[in-house]
Amino acid sequence: MSEATATRRGLQREFARATARTVGRSVLNAVLSIVIVIVAWVGLIKLFNVTPYIGKTPLDVWEYLFVDPDAAQSRAAVLTALGQTLFDASIGFVAGLALATLIAVLFTLFRGVEHALMPLAMLLRSVPLVAMTPIIILIFGRGQAAVAVMGSIVVLFPALVNIVFGLRSASPQMLDLVTVYGGSRFTALRKVAFPASLPAFFAAVKISVPGAITGALLVEWLATGQGIGYGIISAAGRAKFNEVWADVVVITAVSIVLYNIVAIIESYVLARRSR
């Protein structure tokens, strides 16, 4: 075996071990997050002396989903609503992140575009989405177009700020080197700025995942009348508090899991680039 082959295999083994450690840390973080949420959940119910009729414990939710005679029906209803919410969240996530990336590229290439559009982005962020919802519904209806618009508004601004920061964190010397060799601004953006912005981009993705879920819950409550967002309001109005807590627990657990999946992907990609 040649020295180069042995070195390459050693690097591959080290990369595999680093990846395993990253996955292990992410799983541990997810477990710790869930434990903290459960402890806070039980502690707050005890602290504020919430009546058992309204405040359900983890054991109550477990029995509702897995022990009660109609648990299978309850699980099916929650999972159906969850599927709709994740679909709505994915629309807002993709639309918002794609729009944020496009605008960030324009801001980086053309400073005049930033001066023209940044006040509009600030306006969209400062106006409460609840106040904008009637106008959005009038323009786009109550279908998936409204879901995309409202989800994009929730995701857009924090993702935009992070991605712009990442694109502008590229080394000026590397950018000048591309220019000296005849590369255009777009070439410098593609070859230098995009790779340098990966940590900031993944930070934007991690922020956008729970933001997209929040936007989906909001649009389901205010516009579409579907998914967990509407299910929570509907169940609360019918005093079905077991269903309310089950919906909240499921969507919270899914948010934690998705966040940690993005963290694992981030660690893997950045480790490969550093290698």
- Give me the residue spans of the domains in the chain: 58-274
Q: What is the pLDDT of residues 244-258, one digit of tens each?
A: 999 999 999 999 889
Q: Which of 126-135, 146-155, 181-190 has the highest mean pLDDT?
A: 146-155
Helices (H), 127-240: 129-140, 144-167, 172-180, 185-188, 194-196, 198-219, 227-237
Question: Percent of the chain at pLDDT above 90?
Answer: 42
Q: How far apart are CA 259 and CA 262, in angstroms?
A: 5
Output Rg (C-alpha) for the chain, integer angstroms.
Answer: 23
Average pLDDT value for residue range 89-118: 89
| pLDDT for res 264 | 84
- pLDDT class of 6 with cuts at 50, 70, 90: low
Identity of residue 203: A
Residue 55 to residue 53: CA distance in whole angstroms: 6
- State whether CATH 1.10.3720.10 applies to domain 58-274: yes
pLDDT digits (tens, 9 = 90+) for 156-214: 888 998 999 999 888 888 888 888 888 888 888 888 888 889 999 999 999 999 999 99
- Residue with the bigger pLDDT between 118 and 148: it is 148
Could you read off the pLDDT of 22-59 as tens digits, one per residue? 777 777 887 888 889 899 999 999 999 999 999 999 99
Residue whose entry in the numeric block shows the structure tokens 């409202």: 150
Q: How far is CA 166 from CA 35, 93, 207, 223, 260, in A?
A: 33, 19, 14, 35, 21
Q: Find the mean pLDDT for residues 91-119.
A: 88
Residue 80, SS3 per DSSP: helix
Distance CA 202, CA 112 (A): 26
Q: Are 247 and 232 in contact (CB under 8 A)?
A: yes
Per residue in 220-230, pLDDT (tens digit) is 998 888 999 99
Cα 275 from chain centroid? Answer: 27
